[in-house]
Amino acid sequence: MDEDTKMSRREWLAAAFSGLSVLAAYGVLAAEGFLFLVPKKTKPKTRLLFAGQIEQYKIGQVQKFFDLQGGEILVKRSKEGFKAFSSTCPHLGCKVKWEPDQNRFLCPCHMGLFDPEGKAYAGPPADAGQSLAPVAIKVDEAGGVVYIEVEDKGPGRKA
């Protein structure tokens, strides 16, 4: 190589940094494009549904409510407080019933038995280690009101 075609150190560094800058810009553009195409994971919106006055619940009593999609929710009061569960058995989707005299939930399809905390202790749900799905519940002691928190999948919302 002769002296005229030889690149100086300054020219070589300028070309190297220019190339790296272009690569970085395209990398950022590609990452932003990918993030634009991938949907964001957002926490589902919820609503509080009125589930009655505290004094309406007797200890050991269960009341039925429905969420915004028509799913049945069982709200139970015990000495420790309030609990809420989906009434759908996790085994095959049958509806469980509260048996106050036995202090348990019963799934009539395959005689699945659940304790007052919703944990299965007999039948196919117990064999599979399944429990009733809990539903968030809020108790406003000052106002004397019970609310169940349900996912808001109303019109215009994705499931």
Q: Is 8 helix (H, G, I), strand (E, B) or coil?
A: coil
Q: Which residue has the higher pLDDT, 23 or 151?
A: 23
What residues form DSSP beta bridges with 139?
146
How much is the average pLDDT of 54-71? 86
Q: What DSSP state is assigned to residue 82?
A: E
Please tell me the pTM assigned to this model.
0.65
Instruction: Give strand ranges (E) for the chain.
Output: 46-53, 62-66, 72-78, 81-86, 97-99, 104-107, 112-114, 120-122, 137-140, 145-151
Nearest 10 degrees: Cα torsion 107, 134, 81, 129: 60
pLDDT over 70 (residue 6): yes
pLDDT over 60 (residue 95): yes
At residue 105 the predicted structure's pLDDT band, cuts being 50, 70 and 90, is very high
Q: What is the pLDDT of residue 159?
A: 46
66-82 per-position pLDDT tens digit? 888 888 999 998 888 89
Sole residue written with tokens 């950022």: 28
